[in-house]
Chain A
Amino acid sequence: MSGTCETAAAAPLVDYALRLADTALILGHRLSEWIGHAPVLEEELALGNIALDLIGEARALYSYAGEVEGKGHDEDALAYRRDAGQFRNLLLVEQPNGDFAQTIVRQVLYSAFAQPFWRALARSPDATLAAIAAKAEKEAAYHLRHAGEWLIRLGDGTEESHRRAQAALDELWPYAGELFERDAVEDALVAAGIAVDPAALRPEWEKNVADLLAEATLRPPASSWMQSGGRRGRHSEHLGHLLATMQFLQRSYPGASW
C-alpha cells in the first residue's frame, strides 16, 4: 500500500462508519493524553479505561469501513494514514483536554448523546453496526455515569470548581449542535433504517443534560450559535496537532509492527 491513503468514501455506509470511527478514535486518543497526568490514581485508571473502550469501538468500525470499501484498507491504514482533511470526527471531541473540568464537560456532552445513539443503532438491520453498537451502548452508559457524577461534584463543589466547570461548559457548548446534524450521507441510510436519525435523539439528550446541569448548579449557556464542519472534514487547528502525535510512528516507519 502507498504511504497515503485516499478514502473518497463513495459509499455512504463507508463514510458513516468512518465518521463514527473517527469520533471514537479521536476522543479515545484525547483521553489517553491524561495518562500520567490525571488528578488521582483512580481517575487515571478511569480515563484510560474509557479511552480503551473508545479505541476498541473505533477499531471495529474501521475494520468494517475497510471491509465495505473493499480497497484493502485495514484499521491501521484508516487510523494512521489519513490526513486531517479526511477525518470525519465531531469537532467536539478534538477540542483539547484543557483542565479536568473541560475534559469532563466534553465527556458529558458526548456520552449523553452516545448512549441513546448506540442504543438506537443496536436495532439497525446492518448486523455488524448493530453488534458494535450493542456493546458500545453499555460502555457509554458507564462513561456517562462517570462523567455525570464528576460534573455534579465539580459544579456543586467549591467556588473554583464551579467557576471552571461553568467556563468549560460555556466554551464547549457551541460544539454540541454538530451531534444532531444530518446530511446527504445519512439520508438514504436513515430512510433504510440502517443509520440513526440524530435529530430524534435530541429530546433525550436535552433532558439528561438539563437534569445534570441543574443538579450541578450550572447554567446552560444562552447562545444558540453552533459550530459545524467536522463531519465534512473541516476541522479546528487542534486536530492536526493531535494527528501529528498519534500518527508519528506509522508516518515515520510505515507498516511498522512489533
Chain B
Amino acid sequence: MDTVNSLLIHGANALLWLWDAIGSLLGRLWSALDAILDPILSPVLAVLNPACTVVGDVVYAVLSPVPVWFGLTVLSLLAGVVMLVAFRYVSNQEAIGRAKDDIKANLLTLKLYKDDLRVMFHAQGRLLWAILRLQRYMLTPVLVMLLPMLLGLAQMGTRYQWRPLHSGERTLIRMKLDESLEFAENGRFAADMRYAEDTTYTPVADAKPGVTLEGCAGLIVEVGPIPGGGEMVWRVRGGEPGRYQLRFHAGDDVIEKELVVGEGLRRVSATRVGSDWTTQLLHPAERRLPDRTGVESIEIVYPGVDSRVYGANWWVLSFFVISMAAALILKPVFRVRF
C-alpha cells in the first residue's frame, strides 16, 4: 500500500512539474511573441479602437429600441453568419473536407475492423494525423477572423460586461502605477497623501509632486487615495447621472478617465489602459494612456450587468451558443465544411 501511495505521490508530483514546465515554456514563448507583436499592434489598435467604438455606438443606437436580450441574439446570429461566410472564403475548404473525410474514414475503420489491433492502431495514428492537419487548416481562418472577432467582442463587452454606476452607489477607483518607478527615492508620487475636504487630493506639506483627482458632479470621493501594492485606490460614490471625464493630475501631467453614472445599457469603459496591445484589445472604448506618465492603468470597478442571458460573463456564453448554432444550422445553406 505504501508503495502504491508513494507511486501516486511521485506520479502526481511529476505531473505537476510537467504542468509547471509547460506553463513556464508557454510563458516564455508568449513573452518573446509579445515583444515582437507589441510595437506592431499597439499603434494599429490605437487607430482601430476609436473607429470600432464609433461603429459600436451606431449599432447599439440602432438596437436601442429592442430588448437587450434580443439585440444580443441578433448580433450573435449575424456574427455566426458573417464568420461562416468568412470561413468559407478564407479557409481551404477542399483540404478541410479531405481532412474531415480522413477523420471519418479512420473512425469508421475503428468500427469496421475492431478485431484487428494492428489495423486499429494504424487507424488511430492516421486519425491523429488527420486531426492535426485539420487543426492546421483551421488555423488560417481562425487567425484571419481573430482580430475582427476580438474587436467586435470587446465592443460588446463594453455594453454587456459592466453597467453604469448608479447615483449614490459605492465603488473603487484604482490607479495602477508603473512598477519600474522608484517612488520613495525620486519622490514623484508621494506615498503620504492627504485627503482634502474639497475632494481634491493634495500632496503632503513637503511639496513632493503627487496625484490629484478633480472633483465633478458625477462622483463623490469618500476615501483615498490609499497607496499600496503599486497602486492608489479611491473609494467613491456615484453622483449625478451622466458621462464625465475624470481628471487626474500627476505632477505636470493631466490624465483623463471616463466615468458613466446612470441606468440601463450604455457603453462603459471600466479601464483606461496603457500601450500594451493585449489590454488595449480588451478595453477599446478610451484612448490609451500617454507614455511616461508613470500610470499603467486607471480602473473604475463598475458593477457587472445582472442577467443570466446577457449579463456579465453570461453574454459571452450566450453569444457563443447562438453564433455557433447559427453557423451549424446554416452550414449546409452556405456549403461550408468545418
Say whether A and B bind each other: no
Residues of chain A having any CB pair with chain B under 8 Å: none
Residues of chain B having any CB pair with chain A under 8 Å: none
